[in-house]
Chain A
Amino acid sequence: MDELLKEFLVETNESLDVVDVELVRFEQEPNNAEILGNVFRLVHTIKGTCGFLGLPRLETLAHAAESLMSKFRDGAPVTGEAVTLVLSAIDRIKQILAELEAHQREPEGTDADLIHQLGEMVRKVSVPPAASTSEPTGYTVGTLVPQTLERPLLPGEVSLDELERAFRDTLGPAPIAAAPQGKAEQRKAEHDRSQNINGAEKEEAEATVASKSIRVSVDTLESLMTMVSELVLTRNQLLDIVRRHDESEFKVPLQRLSNVTAELQDGVMRTRMQPIGNAWQKLPRVIRDLSAELGKDIELELHGADTELDRQVLERIKDPLTHMVRNSADHGLESRADRIAAGKPEKGIIRLSAYHEGGHIIISVADDGRGLDIKRIKEKALASGLVTEPELDKMSEAQIQKFIFSPGFSTAQKVTSVSGRGVGMDVVRNNIDQIGGSIDVQSVQGKGLTFTIKIPLTLAIVSALIVESGGERFAIPQLSVVELVRVHAKSEHRIERIKDAAVLRLRNKLLPLVRLSSLLKLDGSKAIPDKGFIVVIHVGAQTFGVVVDGVFHTEEIVVKPMASKLRHIGMFSGNTILGDGSVIMIIDPNGVSQEIGASVASTAAALAGTEAGQHATAENTVSLLVFRAGSPEPKAVPLSLVTRLEEIDCKKIELSNGRHMVQYRGQLMPLIRVDDEVKIKREGAQPLLVFSDGHRSMGLVVDEIVDIVEDRLDIEVASDIAGVLGSAVVRGQATEIIDVGHFLPLAYADWFRGKDVKISDKERTLLLVDDSAFFRNMLSPVLKAAGYEVTAVSSGREALAILKKGRRFDAMVTDIEMPEMDGFELAEAVRGEQRFGEIPIIALSSTTTPEAIERGRKVGFHDYVAKFDRQSLIAALKEQTADIIQAA
């Protein structure tokens, strides 16, 4: 093609893209003279060049558009209709340019239709011309040689005669000595001049910026990139060889070469970087047209348009992004009426943002529309046979939302011309996968939808870890590798197994493990050996460990895309040639994560269960309130029992019936002393530990409150003294643990009506069921002191759940009076189960009528103890658990 024509096409196409964007901006800011000026200038230039190159059709079209634009410059109202017309003209010009490129000449045809419309519009918006200062004096004879225009006048043009007339009629420049020139005029003239100067400066500045950049053909850059890649490979080869020799005079110069190569690589990669705004350029126009077509008011917000990314990557995401934006506009955003009905602002917003994070660029497309319709997705998924009902029930909303990425999945009711054509999100995801990226979706039904795309900054050269598995070598991109762990029998990190799943405990996190060779079906065995190397990979939101046989080193590799016949293999993102010339596959962490997705999910569930379980049993620290009362040695009670710490004015303490009382919250609260050593203060403030249950409160008199500590409650020395459970080492000090249960009835004789206490024997497990938190909290330390490991639950339902999960207990102690499921019902349910039906159950009740006891026996209570008979409880438990020992 003619060089001139080629350049014309490139430049004009670029200009037209800018015109598009600027026109849309102009429509929103019709008073912005700068934008108008820009557009006008561009169109004018296009017209001029077309005329120069002898492209009449284009010239005429450009001229017509320019005329309309000049009316805007004159102050004509900027209507949507008018702008649409200009845009149509621009579109037509683009079409003709495309034909021009293909066939090297303008296509046959006429644009009379458009030109006519533009002419009409010009007439419509024409501001009536100001009356001319002098009457045209008819035919003028000028000194110029008569010239004839060889074609009819284009609309907006004036004939030569008129032009000459205008020249004659205009006043010449004012004589220099014209003094009456007002100061205002002078100032204006100066102002104009300075504007011109500024304008000139600005132009100069622009010129220097322009001269700082240079146009380079894409092919040149590509070949440059390829050569640099080859250079990198060769350097790798050399490094490989030199690595094998300890001493070599090549090492130093090679190091320098390596550095230089790295910098060169960096520099060339940067030449390929383009701002993402380039991919977004067409979007304002697209949205404008869509808004009109769909009758919706849509605003497009673009954030981070200058975020740079590799040209190749840019090309690949252009279309997916456009598709998603169209989807949002068409399906996501509701109609004006619907939005108002939903209480949303009439204008729908589609927000695109881009930013760098790590070695990736994160792009998000968000709208505030109706979000994903979970119900429809479920229906579609079932109908398409992608999932079964029971599977669907187990899925979280996030998992269900991911169905939209399945091939052919479109829940659009009707296929509109805009979207819903079946070019669905699966294609989008495919495109993104192919460039090594990932896409995620978040949706809140009724509120909006957000897609988040994460793509690597560049495809070409990446750092990779070379590993061995199943006798073959593979490369894993360094970016996704978090760390390397070596495990064997004696190492700090060990592989543990939960049922069939192997996991790695890494700094208190349990990671699912998978063997690379089994993922790639290199050998039959799925079993994970107890020793090996684990590559901890993090991708998206998943972290997992990949077990490999060996780890070599990290290498800079040139990523070569997979052959088209092999591109469908999700495990690989490409292949590369190593320094030694061999070809190896590059593992795609996304693919691995998807492949083990199911097993990871179930392992994670298993882990969650176990971790919770472990948490409950392994961490038996208790919050203790340490205080002093009556003696310098510290005393303590479980903090959870204490309702409040108070200090009351001694003057308020009253003596009644031999007992100290205080008015507390509208009621009389008895004050209890731990032992006789404790003295109630006569004056000042008396510290109290207040224990409340329902509307009853008791104040335990203390001398001072020392501390609140978190420590294991190991009652080492049991006590015979009533009121003291025993002694434990709390924060290094021997501390008396107070038995609150002893004192409460001292406050109110009937405190424990309806509650009973069971104390069990040595190191046996006990399930305590009582709906009163107060009681559970109080009993646990008591029972622990007696040597039982206590698990307390608040309802029969919970107790059953725990038993069903597989935990076993030596005995169960349960309250009778409980809401929802009382002790009798619980016992029946327990007895009904094969697996744990034989567990001894001891019931606590305030009613010890013969009938109750009989009923208890019927449902299978082993024993039935009155609520506040602690001794009986201990005895009963001893008896019941002794049976177990005998039976064992």
Chain B
Amino acid sequence: MAIAHDSTAGLLTEYVTVTIGDHMFGLPIFRVQDVFVPVGLTRVPLAPPEVAGILNLRGRVVTAIDMRSRLDFGEREPGAPVMAIGIELKGESYGLLVDAVGEVMQLHNSACEAKPANLDPRLSRVAAGIYRLEGQLMVVLDVDRVLDIRNGAVAA
């Protein structure tokens, strides 16, 4: 998935779109390792609330981060579908738990707008920008910021 050139307006970036709590978010595709169904999630007692647990993905131990909790969107309904986006950071594997995974979109970098000042602080911390798509907004997630969870307290 290369970054293509549009003759008219510079670079494009591909985003994997996901739905978390009825909102649409985008993750730059070069940060995404894979997409999988989280199975066999083991709770980690005494872990920070954002950490849903750990699971075994093809022999690797993946730390699952519940994005609903991370972005303060409230509990998931029991039985509601969950998908995971596999991310790698400093040699460790993480899985971001989202409600649904959408399609991959190729978007112009120039169309990315700055995040509005009145954006919820928790979202604002992890957002890199916003795209206005037909009918909805897509918030671009800064993966490094998303994974910046300190011991029990979310980093500012």
Spell out A's residues near B (CB within 8 Å): 230, 233, 470, 472, 520-522, 560, 563-566, 568-569, 571-572, 575, 577, 581-585
Contacts and interface: CB of A to CB of B under 8 A. Distances in A.
Contacts of A581: 40, 56
A583 B152 CA distance: 22
B90 A560 contact: no
Interface residues of B, number: 22
Interface in B71-129: 90, 92, 94
Q: Which of the listed residues B59, B92, B151, B152 has the most CB atoms from chain A within 10 Å of its own CB?
A: B59
A571 B56 contact: no
B59 A577 contact: yes
A572 B42 CA distance: 14
B10 interface: no
B42 A571 contact: no
Could you say which of A522, A565, A572 has the most chain B C-beta atoms within 10 Å of its C-beta?
A565
Interface string B30-69: 0000000000101111111001001110010101000000
Contacts of A565: 47-48, 51, 63, 147, 149, 151
Contacts of A571: 45-46
A565 B93 CA distance: 11
B33 to A, nearest CB: 15
A727 B56 CA distance: 76
Given A581-B40, A583-B42, A583-B61, A569 B47 contact: yes
Nearest to B46: A569
A568 B61 CA distance: 17
Nearest to B45: A520
B111 to A, nearest CB: 34
A472 B41 CA distance: 11
B44 A569 contact: yes
21 contacts: A470-B45, A472-B42, A520-B45, A560-B61, A563-B54, A563-B63, A565-B51, A565-B147, A566-B44, A566-B51, A566-B54, A569-B47, A571-B45, A577-B59, A581-B40, A582-B40, A582-B42, A583-B54, A583-B61, A584-B42, A585-B44
A661 to B, nearest CB: 81
A560 B56 CA distance: 12
B136 to A, nearest CB: 31
Nearest to A580: B40
B56 to A, nearest CB: 5
Nearest to B47: A566
A563 B94 CA distance: 9
Contacts of A566: 44, 47, 51, 54, 63
A577 B51 contact: no
Nearest to A469: B45
Q: Helix, strand, loop or mixed for chain B's interface?
A: loop
Contacts of A470: 45
Nearest to B40: A582
Contact of A568 (B42, B45, B151): B151
A787 B42 CA distance: 65
A566 B43 CA distance: 12
Most-contacted residue by chain A among B56, B151, B152 (CB, 10 A): B56
A20 B47 CA distance: 47
Given A565-B48, A568-B152, A581-B56, 16 more contacts: A230-B59, A520-B45, A521-B45, A563-B94, A565-B51, A565-B63, A568-B151, A569-B47, A575-B42, A582-B40, A582-B42, A583-B40, A583-B54, A583-B55, A583-B56, A585-B42
Nearest to A577: B56
B30 to A, nearest CB: 22
A585 B147 CA distance: 21
B70 to A, nearest CB: 12
A522 B151 CA distance: 19
A308 B45 CA distance: 35
A119 B44 CA distance: 65
A575 B47 contact: no
* A-B interface, 9 closest residue pairs, ranked by CB to CB distance from nearest: A520-B45, A563-B63, A568-B151, A583-B42, A583-B56, A569-B46, A577-B56, A583-B54, A560-B61
A102 B77 CA distance: 54
A112 to B, nearest CB: 44
Contacts of A560: 61
Nearest to B48: A565
A339 to B, nearest CB: 43
A522 B56 CA distance: 22
A584 B45 CA distance: 11
Which of B46, B47, B51 is most buried by chain A, counting CB atoms within 10 A of its CB?
Answer: B46
A237 B60 CA distance: 16
Nearest to A578: B56
Given A564-B90, A564-B92, A583-B54, A521 B61 contact: no
A520 B44 CA distance: 9
A72 to B, nearest CB: 49
**Which of B61, B63, B149 neighbours the largest number of chain A CB atoms within 10 Å of its CB?**
B61
A566 B151 CA distance: 7
B51 A575 contact: no
Contacts of B42: 472, 575, 582-585
A520 B45 CA distance: 6
A563 B45 contact: no
B63 A585 contact: no
Given A565-B149, A575-B54, A585 B61 contact: no
A585 B42 CA distance: 9
Contacts of A563: 54, 61, 63, 92, 94
A275 to B, nearest CB: 29
Contacts of A564: 90, 92
A97 to B, nearest CB: 28
